[in-house]
Amino acid sequence: MKIKRLKKVQKNLSFFVNNYKFRKPYQILIDGTFSFAALQNKFNIKEQLAKYFQADVKLLTTQCIIVETEKLGHKVYGAMLIVKQFPIHQCGHEKNTVTGSKCLRSMVGSNNESRYVIATQDRLLQEQLKKIPGVPIMYLHGRTPTLEAPSQKSREFAEQIRSKVTMTDMQEERIKSLKEQFGLKSDITMQPKKKHKKSGPNPLSCKRSQKKESNSMIHTSEHKVNESGKVRKRKRIKLPAHVKEVLKLNTHS
Ligand SMILES: [Zn+2]
């Protein structure tokens, strides 16, 4: 059972790590109701939550939550003592404190930018927090801590982000393939190669004649042909155009 439960926590946690950039140490905001349930069930918050998350956790509370438990009097005296153990996180209501649930809602805001895990037994608050994407909610089920599975809102919003990312990826791919279709990429790579080829032949054309002369049997036969008709030799020698014209003029005159 225990291993199964820990796997479930890790699965739910990794959802928030992967989709909402939650990082260790996880910040857990603890309210009066959670402290009250912990006291009733003899649940050691500090020890047990670190074990449950298998990570360093920062347990925090707010001035509003402390004041609320103080106001509730002797019935929640023990819970108040527990809450007061935790470092007080600034909530902005220090001058005019609000109810614990209102305080936590404002801490989370519209997108839980500071990435709090909210530990509360308050069902109404839980329902409200489920409507905000990226808010992990935990509560005590008897002595068993439970990190709720990501809310529908959290899952939908994460899916939206993912689909946006894949859309831009697809667009990039499309642009790439279009570039290739229009030969924008291949032009850049091909042109220098062509240039090399073009620049090559000119000096090589001169060498070719040398090679042919120094090479095998074919050349001897060529030589024979050449010897028989001198016209061929003339053709082989590449004369500049202006020289050719002058020669032509000379032969005509
Ligand atoms: Zn507050």
Q: What is the rounded CA–CA span in Å between residue 26 and residue 111?
A: 16
Q: For residue 54, tell me if it sits in a domain.
A: yes
Cα-to-centroid distance, 110 and ligand 1 (Å):
16
In eight-state DSSP terms, residue 238 is: -
Question: Span 180-188, mean pLDDT?
Answer: 67
Q: Does 138 lie in the same domain as 23?
A: yes
24: domain CATH number? 3.40.50.1010
pLDDT digits (tens, 9 = 90+) for 137-165: 999 999 999 999 999 999 999 999 888 87
Angle at CA of residue 220, ends 218 and 221, nearest 5°: 65
pLDDT higher than threshold 50 for residue 224: no
Examine the fold and report which residue of 117, 150, 183 is the final residue of a domain before the chain moves on: 150
Q: Does 44 lie in the same domain as 109?
A: yes
Q: Does 84 lie in the same domain as 9?
A: yes
Q: Does 223 lie in the same domain as 137?
A: no
Split at pLDDT 50, 70, 90, the class of 247 is confident
Split at pLDDT 50, 70, 90, the class of 241 is confident
Q: Does 110 lie in the same domain as 36?
A: yes
Lowest average pLDDT, out of 96-105, 118-127, 171-180, 214-223, goes to 214-223
Q: For residue 115, tell me if it sits in a domain.
A: yes
Q: For residue 218, tell me if it sits in a domain.
A: yes
pLDDT higher than threshold 80 for residue 188: no
Q: For residue 217, tell me if it sits in a domain.
A: yes
Question: Span 51-76, mean pLDDT?
Answer: 95
When divided into structural domains, the chain yields a total of 2
Q: Does 32 lie in the same domain as 146?
A: yes
Stronger pLDDT, 218 or 169, i.e. the higher one: 169
Q: What is the rounded CA–CA span in Å between residue 118 and residue 51?
A: 17
Cα-to-centroid distance, 109 and ligand 1 (Å):
12
Q: Does 61 lie in the same domain as 142?
A: yes
Examine the fold and report which residue of 105, 134, 150 is the final residue of a domain before the chain moves on: 150
Examine the fold and report which residue of 150, 175, 193 is the final residue of a domain before the chain moves on: 150
Cα-to-centroid distance, 38 and ligand 1 (Å):
22
Q: What is the rounded CA–CA span in Å between residue 122 and residue 112?
A: 18
Is the Cβ–Cβ distance between 104 and 30 less than 8 Å? no
In the prediction, which pLDDT does 223 show?
A: 47
Cα-to-centroid distance, 172 and ligand 1 (Å):
46
26-30 and 57-60 beta bridge pairing: parallel
Mean pLDDT over the full length of the chain: 83
Q: For residue 51, tell me if it sits in a domain.
A: yes
Lowest average pLDDT, out of 50-54, 63-67, 171-175, 222-226, goes to 222-226
Q: For residue 158, tell me if it sits in a domain.
A: no
Cα-to-centroid distance, 102 and ligand 1 (Å):
8
Domain boundaries, position 105: 2-150
Q: For residue 69, tell me if it sits in a domain.
A: yes
Cα-to-centroid distance, 76 and ligand 1 (Å):
19
Q: Does 105 lie in the same domain as 19?
A: yes
Lowest average pLDDT, out of 43-47, 67-71, 159-163, 247-251, goes to 247-251
